[in-house]
Amino acid sequence: MPFTPTDSDPVAFRGVIAIELRDGGLPERAALPADAAGEVAALLGRDLAQLAPDVAGCDLALMAAHFDPAEALRPGWPLHRRVLELLQRAPGQAQGARIIGFGADAQGEVPAPLRCDPTLAGGGLRLLPFVLRGATLDAAAAQLELMLFDTGMAKPDTALALQDGLGARIEHVRYLSLHDLLAMMAMQYRNVGLDGLWALLETALLEPAGECLLDAPPEPLVRYGDGEVRIAMLDPAAWRRRNAPEDSDGDALERGFGRFQKRQRQYAAVFEVHGVPVQFVHCADGDAACLR
């Protein structure tokens, strides 16, 4: 089924072109030139239609600028919302299925809706968001959700057009649905021991009106609810009662509390790059009730 994160969003399939950069080198350009954006959008449409023929009956819009994965995984899916807004304003809505690529302007400048967060420009994986809408969307979306993760490698000419247009050294180019991207990022967070954080972030992304509590020492005490994350600020005594009630080694306790504070800062930084507001709440007794 199409991915419909909120009732206010138009029904659409949300996907990304995922570019793995070679040797961590950054692309020379933040977005494809306008003509190259149209070319890559057409190649994307061809590649997707070979996997899912019903794609040919849909409008396809590509934002031909590259972003960090965290920018694509934010509440309300702002990158894909921008692509939909650009598609809705584009001419030709009564002329059948359209394929449109939005790139840099005639002077090579990147318009505001296509600008990435400059503080997140250094990662080895960059994403170009795209959307599908139209009469055959349900069938196209169902086919792509089944096939992209395993068979969504871009054709060589598509990868070459992206490499030349962005001025990038590219290792791999593949297509992912937003669900695929979520699954991939969940695996990465879990592989670095951030399972609890991911459970909170997943709630913020998929159930923004819901809530999730992480109360699992030695991890920070954290609650997502009411659209924000609240992190309990514990003093050393409260931290000790929760995490090391039997420990009497002062130096070890001091080191442990320092690690705990560092972990809290790590959590806050991750939520912030994903666009989830963070509030630190003083919690003298270490009880989760303080986060409500």
pTM: 0.90
3 state SS for 31-58: ECCHHHHHHHHHHHHHHHHHHCHHHHHE
Confidence at residue 69, expressed as pLDDT on a 0 to 100 scale = 96
- The domain spans of the chain are 13-186, 192-291
Between the CA of residue 108 and those of 89, 244, 277, what are the distances in Å? Answer: 21, 58, 34
Residues 6+ apart with CB under 8 A from 51: 143, 144, 147, 148, 151, 152
Between the CA of residue 292 and those of 241, 265, 279, what are the distances in Å? Answer: 21, 20, 12
Confidence at residue 217, expressed as pLDDT on a 0 to 100 scale = 92
Confidence at residue 249, expressed as pLDDT on a 0 to 100 scale = 81
Q: Distance (Å, rounded) from C-alpha 227 to C-alpha 16? A: 25
- The letter for the amino acid at 84 is L
Q: What is the pLDDT along the chain (292 residues), one digit of tens a residue?
A: 344 444 334 589 999 999 999 887 889 999 999 999 999 999 999 999 999 999 999 999 999 999 999 999 999 999 999 999 999 999 877 778 999 999 998 777 888 778 888 888 778 899 999 999 999 999 999 999 999 999 999 999 999 999 999 999 999 999 999 999 999 999 999 999 999 999 999 999 999 999 999 999 999 999 999 999 999 999 999 999 888 877 878 888 999 999 999 999 999 999 999 999 999 999 988 888 899 8
Q: Distance (Å, rounded) from C-alpha 194 to C-alpha 90? A: 41
Confidence at residue 1, expressed as pLDDT on a 0 to 100 scale = 37
Confidence at residue 108, expressed as pLDDT on a 0 to 100 scale = 76
Confidence at residue 156, expressed as pLDDT on a 0 to 100 scale = 96
What is the DSSP code string of the chain?
A: --B--STTSPPBEEEEEEEEEGGGPPPS-SB--HHHHHHHHHHHHHHHHHH-GGGGGEEEEEE-B-B-HHHHSSTT-HHHHHHHHHHHHSS-TTSS--EEEE---TTS---GGG---GGGTT-SEEEEEEEEEETTHHHHHHHHHHHHHHH-BPPHHHHHHHHHHHT--EEEEEEEEHHHHHHHHHHHHHHTT-HHHHHHHHHHHH-TTS-EEE--TTS--EEEETTEEEEEE--HHHHHHHH-TT---HHHHHHHHHHHHHHHHHHHHHHHHTT--EEEEE-TT--GGGG-
Confidence at residue 5, expressed as pLDDT on a 0 to 100 scale = 44
Phi, psi for 115 (deg, rounded to 5): -90, 130
Phi, psi for 149 (deg, rounded to 5): -60, -40
Q: Distance (Å, rounded) from C-alpha 29 to C-alpha 61? A: 20
Torsion sign across C-alpha atoms 75, 5, 88, 105: positive
Confidence at residue 105, expressed as pLDDT on a 0 to 100 scale = 83
Confidence at residue 11, expressed as pLDDT on a 0 to 100 scale = 85
Q: Distance (Å, rounded) from C-alpha 228 to C-alpha 209? A: 10
Confidence at residue 14, expressed as pLDDT on a 0 to 100 scale = 97
Please list the residues that pair with 128 across neighbouring strands.
17
Confidence at residue 9, expressed as pLDDT on a 0 to 100 scale = 47
> Nearest-CA neighbor of 37 among 116, 92, 106?
106
Between the CA of residue 14 and those of 2, 5, 11, 92, what are the distances in Å? Answer: 8, 10, 10, 21
Query: Pairing mode, if any, of strands 222-225 and 212-214?
Result: antiparallel
